[in-house]
Amino acid sequence: MAGRINLEDRESPLCAAAQHVCEWWTLLILQDAFDGYTRFDQFKENLGVSSSMLTTRLKALVDDGLLERRPYQTNPVRHEYVLTELGRSLWPVIMALTAWGNSRLAPEERRMVVVEAATGEEIDPVVVDASTGRRLDDSDAYVFAAGPAAGEAMRARYRHRGRGAAQASPQEN
């Protein structure tokens, strides 16, 4: 069996993001949080997850800064879990994953859709470049490239693409 990849040792921001949110229960808890759930019992009942699994996942989400644990009752002390600014910034990602999942289904097979809150009209979320408004679903037009903090391995991987092609590594100067 192949060894597990230590995501902290990878330079890819995709690996860094996956470390925080790419786990089944995590995505479902985040979906519930976006739907307004805040209390342990609400998450447990809606998800049908064991208390120990839910405790573990909520703790990880708090440790990662995606949820904030705060008391809502003092006697006895009870806590709620509220999305932080960092957690709320995942909304477009959750929307995109939902749209991608639905795109593989016939409209009558979709159990949940994304709608405009004011009108109730179903929408088709897409990811666009903020500066141009162009859709990013063309994998030939938009590619990964080494960034300014990339190490030599990342620069070598993407030397032929985008900014990575224009930035020589320190050893090449």
Cis peptide before 92 (omega within 30 of 0): no
96, 114 contact by CB (below 8 A): no
Among 91, 151, 164, 99, which residue's Cα sits nearest to residue 126?
99
pLDDT band at 166, cuts 50/70/90? very low
Find the helix or strand (DSSP H, E) in which 32 lies: helix 24-34
Q: Residue 83 pLDDT more than 80? A: yes
- pTM metric for this prediction: 0.77
Q: Could you report the per-residue pLDDT of 89-117, keeping only the tens digit for each?
A: 999 989 988 888 888 889 999 999 989 99
Q: Which residues contact 115 (CB under 8 A, 6 or more apart)?
A: 121, 122, 123
Rounded average pLDDT over 143-154: 86
Find the helix or strand (DSSP H, E) in which 81 lies: strand 77-83
pLDDT band at 162, cuts 50/70/90? low
Strand partners, 83: 67
Q: Could you report the per-residue pLDDT of 11-33, keeping only the tens digit for each?
A: 677 776 776 677 778 899 999 99
Q: Could you report the per-residue pLDDT of 34-56, keeping only the tens digit for each?
A: 999 999 999 999 999 999 999 99
Q: What is the predicted pLDDT for the residue at 91?
A: 93
Angle (deg, nearest 10), helices 24-34 and 40-47 = 120
